[in-house]
Structures are given as structure tokens and as C-alpha cells.
Structure 1
Amino acid sequence: MGMICGVVISVIGAVLVIVISSVGYAVIPGIVERSIINEITLINDTIQLERFMTVPFPLNFTVRLWNITNRDEVLAGAVPVMTEAGPYIYKLHQQRIIDELDESNITYRILNHFEFDPIASYPNTEDDIVTMINIPYHAIIQVAETLFPGSTITQLLNPFLGSVFGEFNTPIAPFRVRDVLFDGIPICQSSGIPAATICQLIRSMSDDTQNMEPQQDGSLLFSLVGYRNGNPSHTYVASRGLDDHADLGRIFLYNNLTSLRFWKDPEGEIGGGGVCNMINGTDSGIFAPFLTEDTILYALNTDICRSVKLQYQQDSEYEGIPTMRFAANEWFLNNDDGCFCLNMTHGINQENGCLLHGAIELFTCTGAYMVLTNPHFLFADIRYRNGVIGMTPNVDQHRIFLDLEPNTGILVRGAKRAQFNVFMRSVAGITATQNLRTTLTPIFWVEEGMSLPEKYVDEIKSNLLSSLNLIRILVPVLIAVSTLILVIGLAVIVIVKMRMSKEQPITMPVTRPAFTT
């Protein structure tokens, strides 16, 4: 009886080990994976689609303007001494206007609304006055220099700059924060004939300049980010992730084009195909699930007219949620492919006309001779950083990074960061610029960031992590219990056999007596 009992227990234990191992490590992960896919893909009438359409909490849009503390000395040829003014923090309310939903793709436009946050920005206000490089001034005289080589035209332009720029007719000027960011700096308010001729040229340039807005009275307003406030973007066509979850959010078309038109193609022509014009990745609001250390992420950033590559850096954690950190390091602005070199922006360049490492010209993107770098010239050639005083680059504070929950691809914390600069230099025929030292001068840097609010952190913990942790703990425990049952069954068999061998009677061999005859 004991032997039978041991065999039964052993069989039960072995069966349980096999079944639980198979179910726990083969079946259940597939069920969990399917559940995650159903939660994060853009299925009709789901919370995920609703949150994709309207981000349920404001993002943080933080601006730091670069204040020039020694204006008079710089105009006389000194090195600019820069200090950060700010932060000026805005609540960024973001929604996606859905134009079309088909079986595989979603067509939408992004609409942003900026709301100044006086509490988070305190003691800084939008009425602060900051002494900055005069962006429209330098942009216009440098474009004139390019369009009309030689000093004749710019010499004719010089006497009438006051009519064009008014009180801001200087290479470095004091600006109200709200004006320079959103409301705009007035240009071409004068009605004089010479100024009108010049302004007609400027207006023709404004069609390709996102920062310049024509007014009904014929004047223009220049602002740094006003064009983003309340104006829908061009259309995106992206995957809903229904056919393949790995394509979730991946953009196939932007502005009805399969590639961008801002950078050089393999033949060296601007506006064709090529690596730099490729539309890669998502709009950074959504990512595919099941990330690994080998995953490479891409995000299309239309403010800088290119996709950004992010690679795994380290495991991290946010409010108890295990995350993976992806970041854009020195490769972001390295221009190794050569197609980001436009040879249109003149200042401190390589012999071939390209900018130095860590800087990308943005003329074809913005319509002005702006230069993109990381904040504080992080990862940029030391010659740019040494051209001004006040740069203190820090990897953690100034690079682009994303922290994502690896199972779902949900972004729990991140920051898109960029610094915009312009070459401050002398322009032939423009008197006010003759003593200027050539420097890549920072204008401002921005951080568009988010940290997942507590409500949604708790949601991830309760809906996802608790289930994953339960599976992670429960399956090994059940296997251990089943193994224990198997061991007990085997032990019973061994014990029974030992007892049976002890209780078996010992029989002595019988010897027959020998008979002799």
C-alpha cells in the first residue's frame, strides 16, 4: 500500500512540475503579451486611443534664454559673457486631431497650447527684460549678404535699418520675454519708401520662415515659438500597431511625403532622399512594447526637421516602476553621413564649409541662419564653447533622454532638449557689426519634458506590474511545491522499499547429511 501511495505522489508531483513549467513559461507569457498588445495598440473606443488623441495631463515646456551681461563690450569686440535667464515654465496641452482612421493607420495633426505657469516659474515672469542677441536683425542682414554678395547692397541697406527694426536696430537688444517667445518683435512698421522696399524683400523671405508672421498692416512679427501655439501641425500618417505591434506609432508619411525635404541626398542636392531625410520612428508620444537593451528608438522632431536616434543607456526606475533609459549622446549631431552639411551658414566652419562637430545648420528648416546644438554646447567642438563665457555642459541635465516601462513601451519620464544659436559676426557694409567677434552665440534652450503623474503610475503598478510580479513569483513557487511533492513521493518509495527489505525473513540453507556405504 505504501509503495502505491509513493508512486502516486511521485507521478502527481512530476505531472505538476511539467504542466506548471509548460503553462508558466510557455502559455502564460503569451497570454500576458497578448493582453499588453491589446492594452497599448490604438484600437477603436479604448482608453489608449483616447489618451493618444488628448494627452490627459500637461507636459512641461521650459525655456531658458541666454542673457548677454556685457553688451557694450561685445559690440566693441569682447567675448560675450552669458547667463541663463529663467526658467520660464509653460504647461503644454497637447492633442492630436484625428483626420482619418483606417484598418491599419491613423492620420492626425498635433495641436499645442502653451499656458504660462507663474508658480513653477517664480520669481521669473513673462515681463522680464533679457538682453539677447537680436535674432531677426542678424537673420535679415546675413540673408541680404548671401543674396547680394559684396558690400554694395548692404551699404545701401545700412542707413535704413532703423526704419526696418525701429527701437531694436542693434545687434544686441533688450527684449520682453513674452514678446520674444510668443507675441513677437515688430519689424517693418515704418511706411517710408526705402524701408518699404527692403521690407517687401523681407516679406518674401517670411513665406519660408516659420518664426516670421505677416500682419494685416504690412508689418511682421518675429517670435521664437509663437508658430507652435494654437496652430495645427502638418499631417502625420502612423501605424496603429494592429497588424504588427512592433510598428505601433511608426510614422509612414509626414506632410503627405514619405521623406523629408530639408537635407542633402546622395547626389548632394537638397530636398531629395538619403539617410538624413528619412522619416524614422514615432512622434515621441508613443512607442512599441517589449523593449530590450538592443532596441534602437527613433523619434521624428519636426521643430528641427529630422529624426532623433536614441539608444539604451542603463536600467533606471521611476516611482517604483522599473524602466529602461534611452538617450541621444554624441552621435546625435555628429553629421558623419555628411548630408546635414548645407554649406549655407557662415561663421566658424571646417575647411569644407561644414560646421564643426556637435552643431547642425537649420536654414532649410527654419528659413533663418540658426544653428542647432545641445544645451551649453554639450558634445560640441570645444571652439564653440570657448567662444563665449558661461557654458557648463552636463550630460544628465542637457541631453535628450527617455525612461520607458519596457513591457509596454509607456513613456514615464523624458525630456527633449535643444539649444538654438546664431553666428554673431561682422557683415560687410553694416556699421554696427564691424567690431563683432565671430562667435556661435546661444539664443535660448528648451526642454519639453514629462513625468508621469501619480494617478497613472498607480495604474501601471496595479494593472501591469502586480500581474507580472504575481506571475514572476507564483510560477516558481508552484514549481517548487510540485517538485517537493515529487521528492516526497520518491522518498516514500525509498522508505517503503527499505522497510520491505528489513521485514523479509532470512532463510538458512538446509544441508543434507552425508551417507556412506
Structure 2
Amino acid sequence: MGCDRNCGLITGAVIGAVLAVFGGILMPVGDMLIEKTITKESVLENGTIAFQNWVKTGSDVYRQFWIFDVQNPQEVMMNGSKIKVKQRGPYTYRVRYLAKANVTQNTENHTVSFVQPNEATFVPSMSAGTEDDTLTVLNLAVAAAPHLYPNAFVQVLLNSLIKKSKSAMFQNRTVREFLWGYKDPFLSLVPYPIPTTVGVFYPYNDTADGVYKVFTGKDDISKVAIIDTYKDKKSIYAIFGGEIDLKGIPVYRFVLPPKAFASPVQNPDNHCFCTEKVISKNCTLYGVLDISKCKEGRPVYISLPHFLHATPELAIPIEGLHPNEEEHRTYLDVEPMTGFTLQFAKRLQVNILVRPAKKIETLKNLKHDYIVPILWLNETATIGDDKAEMFRGKVTGKIKLLRMVEMILLSAGVVMFIAFMISYCACRSKRVK
């Protein structure tokens, strides 16, 4: 009788130990099996679910613009005063809803290249005004003229055309004109063939942005869809910023670090952005990157909105800027198991370098150089509720179920083993007495 009881207790303890061991083994093995299954469909290759959703995204991508409306144009032109600006917006457009084109797989380095067709549709319900709102903004053609034509004699001729067209350093333009293009009266008078249509993003519709090259995730799923190069140049990188919950899905947030816009003295990788045109102070200024080479020599510079994380002296000639980390930072939220970006906000500011020009009347009274902010944008997208529910069901739901089964087996096994072993020891002790 005692033997049967002891044997039963030992059997129970063994079963508990087996359950605990099985639960422990299931953790790495189960994770590996689920990860293998998910990874197979997450790689950007023909035939996978991820590839189909990636070529033509189902989530709406919006680009919001805040345009800097200049409050004191005459004071600046006549006295070289500080430029007082007031941001107007947002003016919101739906973008990047067309399928990617020229998709090419590169099996050697596990990347896929493509171009993104551009199309922008105004969304009145998400905007603070209409495309017909008129703002006082920098005259793009006049501001760029001294940089494109530094010769003094040529500038004298340009000055006569600027005056004849009644153009100045600043102008009144509608939101639609300023963003997407307008026929410039000054350029229209130039006596030789040059493009006469000007706009911050002209041309845009019916064009393509690229070539992008992104990782397929074949060799490392954590890199899936991450940009490797844009137009054959390495892209700005992000660093880990923490873990957050996005619609019930645990994601890793990556943020654009201040180092990305650091001076070449602080970050040698930015040495190519220090040029003779920009006010570099021996390459110690930080917070703006010169992209004039990408803009046919036009003095265009990008920064974070309101000169966030930039050298304080950049904002001294500008009044009305209020940098805010929460509102102006760039980030992307990545699901760690699949590597999918489920939410992002790309925030950048477009600036123009304006310098005094003695031969051009509207610029001759400027007392110093200005890096003039003209607008900042927020391009953002978030996984929709339906897709988030599907993602929870097919990815995070399965992982949570597996975790629960693992913990139940491990916990039940440990409890059974301890309980039966205590009972067995108690029985043996009682029998000895």
C-alpha cells in the first residue's frame, strides 16, 4: 500500500518535471518555429504576403505642410532686419498611394530597388485652410539668382530684369503655387531658354521619386524594408528610442538622432555637407545639411523643423521659431519580429540660403546671411485598424498564445513536481517515524 502510494507520488513528480522541461524546451523551439514561419512571409520577395502589401501599401500616407508666412518683408529688404515668421497650416495631401515601379530584386546583397511614383491629392478635411490661401513667402527665383550667377556684370543684368518684372526678395503666392509651381515673371524675361516655372516641389505629380534600394530581410529580418541607399547615396539613420504599444502591438521606436545633423567636427560622416556656400564657421555649425548638389546648385538646405537640435545662432536672424522635441522629431515604429514599419513620422524643414548682393537692389541692404526657413513637412502613416487586427491575429496573437501555453506548462510542471516531491518526502518521513 505504501509502495503504491510512494510510486504514485514519484510518478506525479516525474510527470510534473516532464511538463516543466517540455514547457522550457517549447520556449526556444516554439519561438524558432513561429519566427521561421513569419519570416518566410515577411521577406520582400515575389510571392510573399509582405511583398504584395509592400509594392502597393494599403495604409494612407499623408504629407502635411506648415508654411512660414513672413510678417515684415519691407523691414527686411530696407533695413536688413530680423525675419519675423508665422507658420500657417497644416495643408494636408494624400501621397504615395500609387504602386512602386521598376521593382528589381538584387539577390547578391539581399536588396530590392524601386522608384516611387509621385502624386499628391489635397485633403480639405485635414487642412487648416485651402490651397488658395495667399501667403508672403521668399521669392525662390530672386533668392537663388546670386548663387547661380555670381558674376557681377551678369547680376547687373539680372537686377534690371528683376526690377522690370516688379519682383522682390519676398512675394505673395497661394499655397498651391508655392508648393507645386507657378510661372515666375522675372525668369520669364530672361532672354535665353531656361525653365520659368518655379515651386518648392515642382515638378511633382506624374514624376517618380528614387531610385530607392531597401533590404529584403532575407539575411536579417530586422532590416526588412529599411532603406540602404537613395539615389546611390547612404540614407540618414535612426537609433533605438524605446518600446511602445501601437494598437495592441508591441513595437520598437527608432528616432533620428541629433548626430545625423551634426557638424563634420562632431560627425565626420557629414563632411560632404560642409561647403563654401554655407556659413560653416570652419565646419562647426550643425543642424542644417546642404543639398544644393541635388537641386542643380540652388542654395537649398534641410534641417529638423524650427531648427530643432541646430546651432542656436542659426535661429538668431529669424523670429517666430519654437522648436519642440515631441512635435518636430522624426521617428518610425517597427514590429521587432517581422521588421515591418507600422507607423512613421518624417519631419523635415526646407530652408534657402540668402546672401547680400550689392548688384541686386532687393538684396543689397541685407546686413548678413540668412538661412531662411520656408516650410516644414510631416509625412506620416499609421497601420489601419483592420490591418492592425489582422496583424495581432496572425503575428502577435500567435506569439501571445504560445507564450501562455509555455508558461502554463512550465508553471504547472514546476508546481506538480514540487507538490509531489514534498508529499513523497513527508510520507517517507512519517513511515520512518
TM-score for both structures, normalised by structure 1: 0.76
Q: Name the aligned partner's letter for residue 25 of structure 2.
A: S
Which residue of the partner structure matches residue 390 of structure 2? 459
Alignment of 1:319-358 (within 5 A): 319-335=247-263, 336-337=267-268, 339-346=271-278, 348-350=279-281, 352=282, 354=283, 356-358=285-287
**Corresponding residue for residue 13 of structure 1:** 16
Aligned to 1:318: 246
- Percentage of pairs with the same residue: 22
Q: How does 1:304-315 map to 2 (within 5 A)?
A: 307-315=235-243
Residue number in structure 2 paired with 1:75? 77
Report the counterpart of residue 179 of structure 2 in structure 1: 181
Matched letter for residue 290 of structure 2? E
Q: Which amino acid in 1 is paired with 2:339?
A: G
What is the CA distance between 1:501 and its match in structure 2? 3.0
Q: What pairs up with 1:255-294 in 2 under 5 angstroms? A: 255=231, 259-260=232-233, 279=234
How far residue 372 of structure 1 moved from its aligned partner, in angstroms, is: 1.5
2:126 is the alignment partner of 1:120: yes
Aligned twin of 1:425 = 355
C-alpha distance in 2 between matches for 1:81 and 1:101: 49
Q: 1:436 to 1:152 in 2, by over 3 A?
A: same
Q: Which has the higher contact order (CA 8 A, sep 6+)?
A: 2
Partner amino acid for 1:116?
Answer: F
- Any conservation in 1 of the 2:85–2:319 contact (CA below 8 Å)? yes
Shift of 1:497: 2.1
Deviates more, 1:230-239 or 1:111-120: 230-239
Structure 2 residue 331 is the aligned partner of structure 1 residue 401: yes
Give the drift of 1:404. 2.0
Root-mean-square deviation (Å): 2.3
AA paired with 2:253? R
Please report how far the alpha carbon of residue 162 of structure 1 lies from its aligned counterpart in structure 2 after TM superposition: 4.2
Aligned residues: 420
Cα distance 1:434–1:109, how it changes in 2: closer, same or farther (>3 A)? same
Per the TM alignment, residue 42 of structure 1 is displaced from its structure 2 partner at its CA by: 1.8
Q: Distance in 2 between matches of 1:45 and 1:341?
A: 41
Give the TM-score normalised by the residue count of structure 2.
0.90
Q: State the partner residue of 1:383.
A: 313
Match of 2:416 among 478, 485, 498: 485
Question: Per-residue deviation at 1:81?
Answer: 0.8
**How far apart, CA to CA, are the structure 2 residues paired with 1:178 and 1:253?**
31
Partner residue in 1 for 2:113: 107
Instruction: Kindly provide the amino acid, as one letter, of the partner of residue 196 in structure 1.
Output: P
Aligned to 1:266: none
Which of 9, 32, 35 is equivalent to 1:33? 35
How far is 1:499 from its partner?
4.3
Change (3 A) 1:105 1:388: closer
Structure 2: gaps of 5 or more residues: none
- Give 1:223's aligned residue: 199
- Is the Cα–Cα contact under 8 Å of residues 96 and 116 in structure 2 kept in the other structure? no
Q: Distance in 2 between matches of 1:328 and 1:79?
A: 30
Counterpart AA for 1:228: Y
Q: Distance in 2 between matches of 1:349 and 1:51?
A: 44
Matched to 1:328, the amino acid is L
